[in-house]
Amino acid sequence: MRKIGVAVVGLGVIGKVHVKALKELEKETEYVKLVAVVDQISALAEDIAKQYGVIPYSTIDDALRNPEIDVITIATPSYLHSPQAILAMEYGKNVITEKPMATTLAGAKEMIKKAEKNGVKLGVIFQERYSPDIRKLKYEIIDKLGKLYLLEAELKWYRDEKEYYLRDEIARSWRGMWNTEGGGVLTNQGIHTIDLLLWLGGEVEEVSGFIDNLTHPSIEVEDTAVAIFKFKNRALGTMSQTVSMRPKKYQNRKIRIYGDRGYAEIIDRQIASVRIEGNEEMGSSVLSKSDTISQDTDLHKELFKDFLKALSEERNFPIDGKEGIKSLEVIKAIYLSSMNRQVIKLPLEVNIVI
Ligand SMILES: NC(=O)c1ccc[n+]([C@@H]2O[C@H](COP(=O)([O-])OP(=O)(O)OC[C@H]3O[C@@H](n4cnc5c(N)ncnc54)[C@H](O)[C@@H]3O)[C@@H](O)[C@H]2O)c1
């Protein structure tokens, strides 16, 4: 069987994680081969290509013409995900893109349509779904909590203006701006947590929120957001997110889920507590067995493995375009709610451009 040939497009912070994860998968499995790397900075592409023994390209078009490449992973600035994915799918390539899948809902919908029309797979990278604590909660605990009635999520992170948004020419070319990053803490950092809330709690029906930029005067997009949700199953949800948390060493992410038989709390990547009515021991046994991830490529590797295995077995990959667009739609609803001071019903009927 010919191995699935993969090329990584965009070799910045996360593109390097893609390359490392895929190279590890190439060694660990029978069916993956990292064929090429692409970056507009040709010296960067050449450097990484040399390190990993693959082909360097400085444009995605050149990579798309290589018949050895079956899958393109997209790790470029967010506004490029949709046009690059659509182009790749026009060449008949399968695509796995970084989050957010697009900066507009219209762009995301185009991608879904193109994948269906061309019969190729489209996957979205929500690697937090592969974190052992989240999987344990989803597959072993959540049913035991009974009927869910409340979900709470908090993300308190820090992103420095100089070191993150204005770090270098590349960062300044897309971070912190509506038309290139698509949004701030919600669209970039917090989208993972929203994806998890939806995966655990089901779809959201109504959204209300406020966003603001309170501590990052050099950028356009929001650094702080709060929202409340009504889920389709009638559970209620609250969420607060920021990239303004100081001191930085106290950054944290918390998810709490309450059902009519018990509750569970995740802090960062650990199950912090599980309490189930009449079975408190079950809670402590889960806590003591809570696994951790050993390196930062682990979750991407697990997700790529799942995608590529699904491709080789002609199965559906669970985080496809239709799944990937859900969190983006909730985020757009929060922006709309904050702008118009309104409760927003989903699905959104308008194609808002922010
Ligand atoms: N899944 C995650 O946890 C995670 C983490 C970080 C970033 N991301 C996402 O990954 C994307 C990239 O983020 P980053 O922090 O790595 O960005 P970055 O700015 O560090 O890197 C982007 C790279 O893309 C290259 N590039 C730009 N335009 C290109 C083009 N037309 N063709 C080829 N290469 C091009 C740049 O030269 C740069 O090397 C963003 O959408 C971000 O939201 C996801």
List, for residues 71-84, the tens digit of each pLDDT value. Answer: 999 999 999 999 99
**Domain ranges within the chain, ordered by starting residue:** 4-127+299-317, 147-260+328-340
Measured in angstroms, how far is the CA atom of residue 230 from the centroid of ligand 1? 33
Average pLDDT of the residues in 24-43? 97
Contacts of 289 (CB under 8 A, 6+ apart): none
pLDDT of residue 199: 98
Whether 10 is in the pocket of ligand 1, judged by its Cβ within 6 Å, is yes
Measured in angstroms, how far is the CA atom of residue 75 from the centroid of ligand 1? 4
Q: Which pair of tokens denotes residue 82?
A: 């949709």
Residue 287 pLDDT grade (very low, low, confident, very high; cuts 50, 70, 90) = low
Measured in angstroms, how far is the CA atom of residue 16 from the centroid of ligand 1? 9
* 269/284: higher pLDDT: 269
Selection from 17, 54, 49, 51 nearest residue 34 by Cα: 54
Look at residue 82 and give its three-state secondary structure.
Answer: helix
Question: Which strands make up the sheet holding 204-212, listed edge to edge?
Answer: 270-276, 262-267, 252-259, 148-156, 236-242, 224-231, 204-212, 344-345
Question: Which strands make up the sheet holding 122-125, listed edge to edge?
Answer: 55-57, 32-38, 4-9, 71-74, 94-98, 122-125
Whether 176 is in the pocket of ligand 1, judged by its Cβ within 6 Å, is no
Measured in angstroms, how far is the CA atom of residue 38 from the centroid of ligand 1? 11
pLDDT digits (tens, 9 = 90+) for 244-255: 999 999 999 999
pLDDT digits (tens, 9 = 90+) for 182-231: 999 999 999 999 999 999 999 999 999 999 999 999 999 999 999 999 99
pLDDT digits (tens, 9 = 90+) for 137-153: 999 999 999 999 999 99
pLDDT of residue 349: 72
pLDDT of residue 352: 62
CA distances for 319 relative to 32, 50, 203, 206, 244, angstroms: 20, 32, 14, 23, 30
pLDDT of residue 310: 96
Whether 128 is in the pocket of ligand 1, judged by its Cβ within 6 Å, is no
Q: 147-260+328-340 in CATH: which number? A: 3.30.360.10
pLDDT of residue 207: 98
Look at residue 155 and give its three-state secondary structure.
Answer: strand
Whether 40 is in the pocket of ligand 1, judged by its Cβ within 6 Å, is yes
> Which atom belonging to ligand 1 lies closest to the Cα atom of 173?
19
- Which of the listed residues 72, 76, 253 should we mutate to test ligand 1's pocket, taking the one with most ligand atoms within 8 A of CB? 76
Cα–Cα distance, 2 to 164 (Å, whole number) = 41
Contact 207, 333 (CB under 8 A): yes
Look at residue 304 and give its three-state secondary structure.
Answer: helix
Please report, rounded to a whole number, the percentage of residues in the chain having pLDDT higher than 70.
94
| Average pLDDT taken over every residue of the chain | 95
Neighbours of 205 (CB within 10 A): 14
pLDDT digits (tens, 9 = 90+) for 96-124: 999 999 999 999 999 999 999 999 999 99
User: Residue for token digits 């993972």?
Assistant: 192
Q: Which pair of tokens denotes residue 342?
A: 């309104």
pLDDT of residue 297: 78
Whether 188 is in the pocket of ligand 1, judged by its Cβ within 6 Å, is yes
pLDDT digits (tens, 9 = 90+) for 300-326: 999 999 999 999 999 999 999 999 999
Contacts of 54 (CB under 8 A, 6+ apart): 34, 35, 36, 37
Cα–Cα distance, 119 to 97 (Å, whole number) = 17
CA distances for 279 relative to 16, 40, 136, 270, 289, angstroms: 45, 56, 17, 20, 17
In this structure, the dihedral spanned by the alpha carbons of residues 174, 176, 178 and 183, taken in order and rounded to 10 degrees, is 110
Whether 170 is in the pocket of ligand 1, judged by its Cβ within 6 Å, is yes
Whether 101 is in the pocket of ligand 1, judged by its Cβ within 6 Å, is no
Residue 279 pLDDT grade (very low, low, confident, very high; cuts 50, 70, 90) = confident
Does 290 score more than 60 pLDDT?
no
Residue 33 pLDDT grade (very low, low, confident, very high; cuts 50, 70, 90) = very high
Whether 77 is in the pocket of ligand 1, judged by its Cβ within 6 Å, is yes
The strand pairing partners of 4, in sequence order, are 32
Pick the CATH number of 4-127+299-317 from 3.60.21.10, 3.30.1370.140, 3.40.50.2020, 3.40.50.720: 3.40.50.720
pTM for the model: 0.97
* 262/349: higher pLDDT: 262
Contact 250, 156 (CB under 8 A): yes
Please report, rounded to a whole number, the percentage of residues in the chain having pLDDT higher than 90.
92
Whether 125 is in the pocket of ligand 1, judged by its Cβ within 6 Å, is yes
Does 1 score more than 80 pLDDT?
no
Selection from 6, 26, 191, 183 nearest residue 99 by Cα: 191
Whether 15 is in the pocket of ligand 1, judged by its Cβ within 6 Å, is yes
